[in-house]
Amino acid sequence: MRLQTRSAMLPSRRKAVRMVLTVFGFPFLAAACTTTSPPPPQIANATPAVDPLAAERYAALGNERFSVPAVSLEDLKPRYMRQLVDYPTREQPGTIVVDPDARFLYLVQEGGKALRYGVGVGKEGLEFTGSARVERKAQWPRWTPTPDMIRREPGRYAKWAGGMAGGAHNPLGARALYLFKNGKDTLYRIHGTNEPWTIGEAVSSGCIRMMNQDVIDLYSRVAGGSRVVVL
């Protein structure tokens, strides 16, 4: 009778074990499959592609008398990069048009086009407006602060009253176009800068500043006597 009783209990125990596996074991097995599966691949945030043309235009220049470092494209808004744009105007090709509010300089081309450059402009109250002529051009120009600049900020400018030789640390940068009106020097310039991060800002003492790579390009395209219009 004892053997029969134990034999009779075996099916019940097997059934109980199956129930335990059903209730508890399968989730454990399912969990084990989940943890051993490889995690989904991690997709890194895509790095913005650098425009190869912009990188070339604003690369370091090794063929200059003084070093011209590359412009950091991360710090430069694309709108201020040199580019050919539509620009319908009554001005003749070869004319320079400066729009201080938009922070753009346009070199008028044929067919309703213009080369557009980003610029930095004068602080409020120091801007030049109207028309002028490019009566002088200079590479790596000498810089001398005006008497007004020395009076406004003597601690900054008085030591350069005798002028600063051209070079990498000269605030006029690699090139300068000198603006004259009715044969008289206006004391305003279109020039380069050793502070390219100021392009798009109103920071200068009235002059129009450009990245060195851009002012070198503009200098090569503009003839002496060219008309300049500052809106």
Residues marked as catalytic? 191, 207
CA gap 182, 187 in Å, rounded: 13
Place of tokens 């003597």: 154
> Buried b / exposed e across 42-54, counting CB within 10 Å, b at 16+?
eeeeeeeeeeeeb
Alpha carbons 107 and 66: distance in angstroms, whole number = 26
Amino acid at 25: G
